[in-house]
Amino acid sequence: MQRQLLSLLTVAVLSGMWCACESGSNSPSYSCSGYTMHLAFQDSSGIDLDISNNTLFRTTADTGNYKHLATEALIDSFKLIINLLDGPYHNDAIWDDSLPEKVYYYSKTNRGVNQGLVLAGIREGTTIKYFETDTSCVLLTKWDPQKLTMTGTYYFEANNHTVKGTGTFTDVCFVSLK
């Protein structure tokens, strides 16, 4: 019974995260004051993004336990989603709020490299048209489990390496679901 409840909870959390990735700018804010999220897109001088969701959650299975971080940032015409994956954890470390300060990579051509997906999209009418990410990476340079904040940089290439973006984030708060 406990395993069924845990499986149901995992599905509910994952479903909530997928919905959060499609939320509008009127959603509850997961950010705190004093943070910055910056994007330089296609050789632009850069824009500041607002955080609309930043959640650390866990999945548990017999093959190992994983921590996931789902971050959503946006402005009127642009949306950025960062998904980090860390694990497997085979002990109680899955339940603490830490995430290693390291580089998380993603590659479309190498399915084994899937810990740091950065997804970007542009608003077209009422929908978001997402670019197909070819490669991306996220470098966590500071993770504070007491303040529940994170700092780092990110990079992505999409649509056969024709779309590129890079950015920074500083003292962005996150919510931890346990």
pLDDT tens digits for range 6-45:
333 333 344 444 444 443 433 334 557 889 999 998 877 7
Q: What is the mean pLDDT of the chain?
A: 83
> Over 50: is that where the pLDDT of 175 sits?
yes
Q: Taking residues 35-56, what's their average pLDDT? A: 89
pLDDT at 25: 39
pLDDT at 3: 38
pLDDT tens digits for range 57-66:
999 887 789 9
Distance, in Å, from the CA atom of 96 to the CA atom of 154, rounded to the nearest integer, reads: 24
Distance, in Å, from the CA atom of 175 to the CA atom of 95, rounded to the nearest integer, reads: 13
pLDDT at 30: 53
In the DSSP assignment, the letter for residue 63 is T
Q: Number of folded domains in the chain? A: 1
Locate 101 and state its tokens. 């300060």
Which SS3 state, helix, strand or coil, does residue 93 take?
Answer: helix
Number of alpha helices (DSSP H) and beta strands (DSSP E) in the chain: 1, 12
pLDDT at 5: 33
- Residue 31: CB atoms within 10 A of its CB come to 19
Map tokens 């004093």 to a residue.
Answer: 34
Torsion of CA 23, 24, 30, 34, to 10 degrees: 140
pLDDT at 38: 94
Distance, in Å, from the CA atom of 108 to the CA atom of 52, rounded to the nearest integer, reads: 26
Residue 136's domain comprises 2-176
Nearest to 152 by CA among 169, 164, 134: 169
> Over 50: is that where the pLDDT of 164 sits?
yes
Q: Taking residues 72-82, what's their average pLDDT? A: 93
pLDDT tens digits for range 133-161:
999 999 999 999 999 999 999 999 999 99
pLDDT at 19: 40
